[in-house]
Amino acid sequence: MDADFSDKNPELAALYSAHIDAVRARHDYALEKGGASHAIVFSGAPLPVFLDDCHYPYQANAHFVSWAPLTNLPLSYIVYTPGETPILIYNQPYDYWHSVPGEPDGYWATQFDVRIVHSIDDVAEHLPRERDNCILIGEINDSAHAMGIERVNPTTFINILHYARGIKTDYELACLRLASIRGAAGHLAAAEAFNAQEPEFGIHRAYCEAVSHTDNELPYSNIIALNQHGAVLHYTNLERNPPDDFRSFLIDAGAMVHGYASDITRTYANGDSRFGELIERMETLQLDIVGRVRAGVDFRELHLDTHRLLAGVLVDAELATGDADTLLASGVTAAFLPHGLGHLLGVQVHDVGGHMENESGTTIDPPSGHPYLRLTRRLEENMVLTIEPGLYIIDMLLDNLRGTPAEGQVNWKTVDLLRPFGGIRIEDNVRVTSSGCDNFTRDAFAAIQ
C-alpha cells in the first residue's frame, strides 16, 4: 500500500485540531497547578562538538514536537497562553552555509499565530513581558535561550504533562500507525538483503532506503545483528564485510512520521532447524503476551508472566531444567532475558512517564530482580507500547550463574550449540483498548505484504 507520510496527509489534517485542543487542555491544567500564566516551549539548539565548528545531530525537544510536527526547527519557540491562539516563533535564519527552514506550511500551520524571526535576538519581542509569569520547557545549555525566564522545567508542571502523555490522541495514534507501516517496509527490505547475504552495513542501507531516512532521521540507531552479534542488546557496529556463514539475523529498527516513532524487532534463521523452531516458540510466546494486553492490566504482571512462559520455552528447548517459579526465582530466566518486556511509545521511542503512578510524580518500582523494566503502570486505553520478549546467549550473564544453585539448572551443552546464533527478539507496537489491543505492527506487515 502507498502510505501518505507528508504534511498534506488529509487524515492527519482532520485529526490535528482535536489533538491541539487536547494539548492545550493539558497545558491549561498544568499552568493552573504550577501557578503560571504562560508556557514557553523551546525547540532546542544544536550542540557544538568540542573544539570544532560543527554540531552534533540536532534532536528537537519532544514537548515542542507534541505541539507541532517540526522536528528540524532549532532555536524556535511556542508561546501558549490559555484562551489564546498559540504563537509559533519560527526561526528562519539568514544563512548561506546551511539549508534553512522553508515557509511555514502544512496542516499544522493554521493552528498557530506564526511569527517568523531571522535571529535568536528577535525572539524576545514576541514573548510575554512578565517573564516571572512564564514557565519554560526545554533543554537550556545557553542562558541566552532562556530569555530571562527563571522557572525552567518545574517538576510539578513537567510531571503533569509527562503523565498525561501516556494516553495518545487520535492524531498521535494515526501518526504511530503510519510509522509502523513505514518501519515494516524497511524490515521487509532488510530481510531481502539478509537473504541476499549482504553484510550488516548493506542491510542497514537497504533499510534506510526503504524508509527514506538518513541515519540522523531514524528514531534510534538501527540494530542490524548477524549471528552472534544478536546477543548484544544494542549492537550498532555494522560490519562492512559479510561473515563466513549467515546463521541468523536480528533487526531492531524503527521509523518516524511527524515526530512519532515505530520500534519493531524481528529475528530470522538461515536454514538451521533448531534455531528456527526456537524463533517459532518465541513468536508464540510473544503473541500470547500480546493477547493479554488490555486496559486495567498491571504491566509488571505481564512482564513476570513473560518470564514464566520463557521458562517453559527454555525447558522445551533443553536450555534449562526446572519449573517456572524455580527458574524465575533463581535468576535463570533473567539471564536469558535481561531487559524489560516493553515501554511506552510516542513522540519519543522510550516515551516518558513509564514509571509514574500519578501526575504528582510518584513512581512504581519494577519487580525485584527486574530493574530494567521501563513500564510499570497499569495499562489504560489508548496507551501505545512495545511488547518485546527475547532470549539471548549472553556469556557475561550466564557466567554469573556459575557457583550458584542456578548453575545446575542450565544445560550448558545446548547453550554452546546456540551461542553462534546470538539471540532472538520479537517486538510489536500495540495500542491498548478496553477489551484487548490493536497490533499496529502486525497490521502494517499485513497491509504491505
pLDDT in tens, 353-366: 999 999 999 999 99
Give mean pLDDT, residues 76-104. 95
Listed residue (173, 165, 142) closest to 14, CA to CA: 173
Taking only the tens place, the pLDDT of each residue in 304-354 is 999 999 999 999 999 999 999 999 999 999 999 999 999 999 999 999 999
Class of CATH domain 170-448: alpha beta
pLDDT of residue 1: 59
DSSP state letters, 13-68: HHHHHHHHHHHHHHHHHHHHHHT-SEEEEE---PPBPTTSS-BPPP---HHHHHHS
For the chain, the domains span 10-164, 170-448
Burial class (CB in 10 A: 0-12, 13-18, 19+), 191: middle
pLDDT of residue 37: 98
Listed residue (280, 168, 265, 173) closest to 224, CA to CA: 265
Q: List all residues 6 or more positions away from 262 whose beta carbon is below 8 Å from its beta carbon.
A: 176, 179, 180, 182, 183, 184, 219, 254, 255, 345, 429, 440, 441, 444
Q: How many CA atoms lie within 13 A of 391 on its CB side?
A: 29
Grid coordinates given for 86: 498559540
H helices of 212-343, in order, are 273-290, 299-316, 324-329, 332-336
pLDDT of residue 7: 87
Taking only the tens place, the pLDDT of each residue in 224-282 is 999 999 999 999 999 999 999 999 999 999 999 999 999 999 999 999 999 999 999 99
The proportion of the chain whose per-residue pLDDT surpasses 90, expressed as a percent, equals 98
Give mean pLDDT, residues 431-442. 98
Give mean pLDDT, residues 201-223. 98
**What's this model's pTM, rounded to 2 decimal places?**
0.97
Name the CATH architecture for the domain at 10-164: 3-Layer(aba) Sandwich (3.40)
Q: List all residues 6 or more positions away from 134 whose beta carbon is below 8 Å from its beta carbon.
A: 36, 37, 38, 39, 40, 127, 128, 149, 151
CA 34 to chain centre: 28
SS3 268: strand
How sure is the predictor about 161, in pLDDT bands with cuts at 50, 70 and 90? very high
